[in-house]
Amino acid sequence: MILGILVMLFFAGRAQENEDPAAVDLHSLNLYNAAQWKTLMNYGKEKIASGIDFPLLRMRTGYAAFMLGNFGQSLLQYKKVLDADPDNSIALYYVYLDNLYLNNITAARYYAAKLPAETKTSEKIAKIKLSAIDAEFSYKIPSDTFRKNAQYYRMGFNIQLGYRLELQQSAAFYNQLVNEPGLSPIINNRQRVDIREKQYYGKLIFAASGKVSVIGGFHYIYTPFNNLIYNNTIVFTGIKYASPFVHVKLMADFGKITDTTYNQYDATVSLFPLGDTKLYSITRAAYGNDFTISQVLGYGITKNIWLEGNVTIGKFNNLLENDALYVFNDIDQKQLKAGASLYATVWKKLLVSVNYTFEKKLKYQTTNTFYQNSINGGLSWKF
């Protein structure tokens, strides 16, 4: 009896191996009609890998992946169909949706431009619109009594200037009192340096294609050191390539920080192994005056809540993060930066974030270390 079962399984496997396109078409259609999404996705991938490849098979495989929440796999299949047939409106629609659910807004907007007018109306897609506003606050507590508690405030908004061009702007303020007798004697009252920075940030993102986007902008920081005033400007440019499961970004930053030339070059690789934003990894290498490696790991513990951990390894006084949105220009050298964040979608369009950051620092012109703890909170509303 056991031998008979093995023989049946062998011939069943042989029959499946010898399926022709017509048989694959019928079987995939039956799986589609039965809503057996996982089986259909695996079956479609297997047959495509074996050389049986036709648009309906890819579309059924892509739809099955979409229903399973594997938007990366869905995008991979529908994009192949769209590349072969740019007039396929169903493939175009799902390429748009997949990018949207993968939070790749630049690519989603690029494909939104190609959607029929009635689809744009039903999906409430506008060519020009205010797309997001956000605000954040940070309270920093150093362990060294010569460094008083610091506060950082930022408010920003994003505008879609067209289907392929986005403008992001922010205004920020940073306040801290510092007692540092070792600073340059041309600075008055070094026992009470009142730092009240004012910042403006602007960034443009242009979708060159559905996979490639070009980034450019600048960050201006007005930094008073009692009687001295520094006008710091960072100009940056970059390029990003986004595939369904991997994003790669290269950035170059040029400018001056406290009257000293500062250039930074970095490369970032983002991974989405499950084809969604539930699990992701972001690794960045940056070289300015020093070399640093940053690692972020994020995981969605529920549909609306994500936890994220991050660490930056390397010693630095100056460092630009998040496309130069955050400029670290500290008289005390950072030796370690690590933290954890919680993100929660409270309503459909409102994202709330809470973050804790720990920093180990080397005090200016000494061998003494101290620590800084920071609590951050943020709100983001998407339109």
pLDDT of residue 347: 84
Q: Which two tokens stand for residue 1?
A: 């009896």
pLDDT tens for 197-207 read 999 999 999 99
CA 213, CA 239: separation in Å to the nearest integer? 6
Give the domain ranges of the chain.
15-122, 129-382
Burial 324-359 (b: 16+ CB within 10 A, else e): bbbbebebbbbeebebebebebeeeeebebebebeb
What homologous superfamily does CATH list for 129-382? Answer: Outer membrane protein transport protein (OMPP1/FadL/TodX) (2.40.160.60)
Which residues, other chains included, contact 318 with Cβ-Cβ below 8 Å and sequence gap of 6+?
A: 257, 262, 264, 288, 289, 327, 328, 329, 330
The residues with which 359 forms a beta bridge, in sequence order, are 337, 372
Is the separation of the CB atoms in 73 and 92 below 8 Å?
Answer: no
CA 95, CA 74: separation in Å to the nearest integer? 8
Output the average pLDDT for the chain: 94
Is the separation of the CB atoms in 203 and 168 below 8 Å?
Answer: yes
CA 234, CA 153: separation in Å to the nearest integer? 19
Q: Which CATH class is domain 15-122?
A: mainly alpha
- Number of Cα atoms under 13 Å in the Cβ half of residue 270: 20
For the residues 219-243, what does the mean pLDDT come to?
A: 95
pLDDT of residue 115: 97
In Å, what is the CA distance from 345 to each residue of 276, 302, 304? 16, 10, 5
pLDDT tens for 176-197 read 999 999 998 899 999 999 999 9
CA 78, CA 100: separation in Å to the nearest integer? 14
pLDDT tens for 141-151 read 999 999 999 99
pLDDT tens for 324-367 read 999 999 999 999 999 999 999 998 899 999 999 999 999 999 99
Q: How far does CA 373 lie from the centroid of its chain?
A: 24
CA 138, CA 197: separation in Å to the nearest integer? 14
For the residues 131-147, what does the mean pLDDT come to?
A: 97
For the residues 127-147, what does the mean pLDDT come to?
A: 97
pLDDT of residue 17: 54
Is the separation of the CB atoms in 335 and 362 below 8 Å?
Answer: yes
Predicted TM-score of the model (pTM) = 0.91
Share of the chain above pLDDT 70, in %: 95
